[in-house]
Structure 1
Amino acid sequence: MDGATAEDTVDIDHQTPEFVADRHNRYHELRERCPVVFNQHYGGFWMVTDYESVAQVARDNETFAHKYEPDAPDGISYMGICGVPRPSYIPRQGVSEIDGPEHADLRRVLNPLMTINAVESNRPRMEAVSGWFLDEIVEAGAADLVLDYTTPVPAVLTLEMMGMVSSNWQHYADFFHATSSYEPSDERYLSAIAHQPDMWGELRDFARFRRENPADDVTSALVSSPLAGRLLSDDEITAIMWNLVAGGLDTTTSLVSWGLHHLGTHPEDRSRLVEDPSLIPAAVEEFLRHYSPSETLTRTATRDVELGGREIRRGDVVFISWVTANHDPEVFDAPDEVRFDRDVNKHLAFGLGGHRCIGSSIARIESELMLRDVLSRIGDYEIDADGFKPYPGNLLMTGVVSMPVAFTPGNRSGAIDPFV
């Protein structure tokens, strides 16, 4: 950390409610002033806000490690998210916090289950689940699009992918959304955190069940496939499951929710998609760029390296902002505008390199399908502005807590109950 100078040093507590509430403007200011800047808080760390530097960090997993290993044998303390304490009973977080040969082996196990072809083969099931949840609200002419639709559809599909009982979707959705969408002082957040050990135990118990009762699902693949020449422990399997379930439940929900909010507040864009549904995939890419549900990531430098003209030292913590990189005017024309006709959209919403989001194909296809279904069946929905509630402040995720809407009532499609 002695590579920082007075000119590239700031004193910002990025965990305060004031910073979190205005974080997008603050990140933009940093990008314009000094895209790679050293922050003295929390033991000191580098904040990286421009596209080129964020991409450099994301691509180079050997130099910028994403693992959590405070007592690593190489003498570096890989602490994960700067300034955020980690519960002692939660080990490293599966896919996202494993590096090296184990990570490569894990990706080889999971990648075949999450390719575009694999996801497309599940499209009929996705359509059935989406159709049924819309059937549950279409006749009423009013609903909460987040609570009644964008939350349950990805939750059910994620649990089914894991091999778990999908009728229990609300139990998991309530937990993971509470830990992302409420401030740490909120009673709902505190209540969820208090149940975190129980949730961990439930996932671990299911992993143990699958060891004895394998099936054709992700959990079975995890418990039966060796990584780096050995089978993973129960806690390692649970950490991977935690990572996959949390990602599947929250990120797609956040993306579709913000997309529907944009369309509900920009009628010209909504009309374009209603009239020409072939634009929906491009709209999903633009919503990914503009809203970037996964906002930030923290890595640790494993060697001295230059980044954005700054000298990063071995052991330094590096905090990157995907959302600010996705709004860099050096890469995106009119970055603060949502444009469905961008010729090239090289957004970083799914990351880059070896840790690029393994569920990106799932997120894309689910999001396209869900936007299409809403626009075709309740496309005239109007948002209750007073009832709309985005996440109050979260450095890691951006999402929507609730979004009440009214629309012209329609007819049920006859989709089969997914829980029968």
Structure 2
Amino acid sequence: MSLKDKTATSGWTSYTTPPAESLELFEAVRGNATLPWSDEHDGFHMLLNYKDVRKAMSDYRTFSSTPQVLRPMLPRKPVPALEMDPPQHAHWRAIFNNAITSKTPESMEPFLRADIRKHINSFIERGTCDIVREIAEPVPAEAICHMVGVDEANVPEIRKRAIAMFAAQGEPELFGQRQAEFGEVTVTEIHDRKRAPRDDYMTELAHMEVEGRALDDDDYVVLFAAFLGAGHHSTTSAMASMIYEVFSNPALRDRLRADKTQIPRAIEEVLRLRPPFYGFFRRATKPVEVGVTEIATGEDLYMGWAAANRDPEVFDHPDQFDMDRENSRHLSFGFGIHVCPGAPLARMEMKVLLEELLDAMPDMHVISGEPVYQFGGGDYCYIPEVQVAFTPRPKLD
């Protein structure tokens, strides 16, 4: 089916349309007087303009995060906080706010640098590697697991099962199976803490009460999925995009190496241009109008973050990487009360990784050409691999 046909039939979904074609489609329908509509997933309106997406994300009373923020609907409990509205939202959001405080990025930075250097040492003598597999994939999972206190020996298996679970988002029956397999390795950690408490956040979770009751095993499964989905899956995608944008452009690479204070600007532009999630869903709690479109109670709306981040009314030459742009108010971490609590941690991880790569391999450059982005479960967007080359060097001290 051609792009024109897809625009006419409004049959968009991340399970049938790859990221590059999705971006083209978003632009093709952006100027429509009425909101675009897709017949997929029982039908939904699509918010693609920055102003509309930002406003809707800030109005949880009208645009609810329940029952779920991804489609199709899956056989699972709501993801804590993410798929809840006030007052319930506050009780569960506190779990993440207590785990990731304003001091967390600074306290975790030394551990993160050590992990990154360990991974660099595994390939620095070779001169080539797939930087996604070697470092962007494992580092965020290790960081999250270290933050909550998961046993280091269990991290690879937890990461493996988390990836398999997220990849099954579009198949409810398979997702249920993969979620159970993920729970086998994560809930065991909680049971261990109940028997033998330690000085870690896992022990706090093991003895925590929320909304007047003790957490059960199903709660722990979705909690760990939330930690790893936000803290691992999305950060891996962002890191891979950052590596490609910086190390495929020698002038940009050398500029950042000469002045590392500019790294945060580069990170924000990567996040704007290449959001790890293209968007989430909301459900209307009452009749509402967006522009000239009337939306009925119970209808679904897609919050198109990737499209909003490329709105030409807000961003000049929006499809280009430009770290010098004045406006970088992207929506890649969401907006409003459901904004990602791990955003400061993700930014720190990206910053430290780029600093270490620029220092360890100053001539590193991409050799695999322009990446082909893929959707992998829901609206998660990622690069499968980025091949790089560099002058082989001795291992870091």
2:296 is equivalent to residue 295 of structure 1? no
1:392-407 alignment runs, 5 A limit: 396-407=379-390
1:3-402 alignment runs, 5 A limit: 11-15=10-14, 17-18=16-17, 22-34=21-33, 36-68=35-67, 80-82=69-71, 84-86=72-74, 88=75, 90-178=76-164, 195-385=178-368, 390-391=373-374, 396-402=379-385
Compute the displacement of 1:56 (Å): 1.4
Compute the displacement of 1:98 (Å): 2.5
One-letter identity of the residue aligned with 1:115: T
SS class of match (1:203): helix
Give the unaligned 5+ runs of structure 2. 1-6
Task: Call closer, same or farther: CA 1:100–1:231 in 2, change over 3 Å.
Answer: farther
Compute the displacement of 1:42 (Å): 3.2
SS class of match (1:297): strand
Compute the displacement of 1:192 (Å): 9.0
Task: Call closer, same or farther: CA 1:37–1:218 in 2, change over 3 Å.
Answer: farther
Inter-partner Cα distance in structure 1 for 2:324 and 2:271:
14
Compute the displacement of 1:257 (Å): 0.6
1:6-38 CA distances to partner (integer Å, 9 max, x unpaired)? Answer: xx9953242553465511111122222247223
Higher mean Cα deviation, 192-201 or 310-319? 192-201
Contact 2:162–2:182 (CA under 8 A) maintained in structure 1: no
SS class of match (1:12): coil
1:184-207 CA distances to partner (integer Å, 9 max, x unpaired)? Answer: 79xxxx999864421122222222
1:278-331 CA distances to partner (integer Å, 9 max, x unpaired)? Answer: 110111111111101111101111112222332222111111111110111111
Higher mean Cα deviation, 404-413 or 212-221? 212-221
1:333-371 CA distances to partner (integer Å, 9 max, x unpaired)? Answer: 221121212233111111111110011011000000001
One-letter identity of the residue aligned with 2:125: E
Compute the displacement of 1:332 (Å): 1.2
Give the unaligned 5+ runs of structure 1. 1-7, 69-78, 415-420
SS class of match (1:161): helix
Inter-partner Cα distance in structure 2 for 1:239 and 1:308:
36
Number of equivalenced pairs: 390
One-letter identity of the residue aligned with 1:240: L
1:103-152 CA distances to partner (integer Å, 9 max, x unpaired)? Answer: 20222232133133222112111111111111121122122101111111
TM-score scaled to structure 2, two decimals?
0.89
CA RMSD of aligned residues (A): 2.7
Which residue does 1:4 correspond to in 2? none
One-letter identity of the residue aligned with 2:396: S
Inter-partner Cα distance in structure 2 for 1:230 and 1:282:
44
Inter-partner Cα distance in structure 2 for 1:240 and 1:183:
16
1:232-276 CA distances to partner (integer Å, 9 max, x unpaired)? Answer: 222112211111122222111111111111122222211211111
Inter-partner Cα distance in structure 2 for 1:330 and 1:138:
44
Contact 1:286–1:340 (CA under 8 A) maintained in structure 2: yes
One-letter identity of the residue aligned with 1:36: L
Inter-partner Cα distance in structure 2 for 1:378 and 1:319:
41
SS class of match (1:29): helix
TM-score scaled to structure 1, two decimals?
0.85
Task: Call closer, same or farther: CA 1:193–1:147 in 2, change over 3 Å.
Answer: farther
Task: Call closer, same or farther: CA 1:92–1:393 in 2, change over 3 Å.
Answer: closer
Contact 1:9–1:40 (CA under 8 A) maintained in structure 2: no
Work out the percentage of aligned pairs sharing the same amino acid: 27
